[in-house]
Structure 1
Amino acid sequence: MADIEQAKATFAKFDADGDGRVTPDEFKSAMAAMGDHLVTGPMAEAVIKAKDSDGDGLMSFDEFWKSVQG
């Protein structure tokens, strides 16, 4: 996914409240909405933590964009 517009649209699916950051709960809910009901709270926290470069416990768009760049 190298297209920034596509990345923004995908990120928006996860950012339920539109604040520009994805919480583990938002991630888990978005995955369930996309049909993956097996993502648990701890799994969502691990995914966010892996992408969270500033250590705030959330995933910003910039962090998401860096992760999809490779």
Structure 2
Amino acid sequence: MADIEEARKAFARLDVNGDGEVTATEYKQVMAQLGDFHVTETVAQAIIRAKDANGDGKLSFEEFWASLDK
């Protein structure tokens, strides 16, 4: 069960510029910081696209929360 406060913390870490949305570039950057250098821009785009409910190419907290296995 996902905890919304933990999810907010995780989302905030992914939202590098703090604009309330996570882009593929931000996702790739954070994964590299965490040591996962296998996440290319293409992979990051696919991950974001899979969770992006409104199709804007970015992940909002609501989309992030909805994608978690609660």
Which runs of no fewer than 5 residues in structure 1 stay unpaired? none
TM (normalized to structure 1)?
0.95
- What value does the CA root-mean-square deviation take over the aligned residues? 1.0
Moved over 2 A (4+): none
Counterpart of 2:48 in structure 1: which amino acid? I
TM (normalized to structure 2)?
0.95
Counterpart of 1:36 in structure 2: which amino acid? D
Aligned to 1:61: 61
Counterpart of 1:42 in structure 2: which amino acid? T
| Count of paired positions | 70
Which runs of no fewer than 5 residues in structure 2 stay unpaired? none
Offset from partner CA, 1:10-64 (integer Å, 9 cap, x none): 0111100001100000000010011101100000000000000001000000000
Aligned to 2:7: 7
Identity value in percent: 53
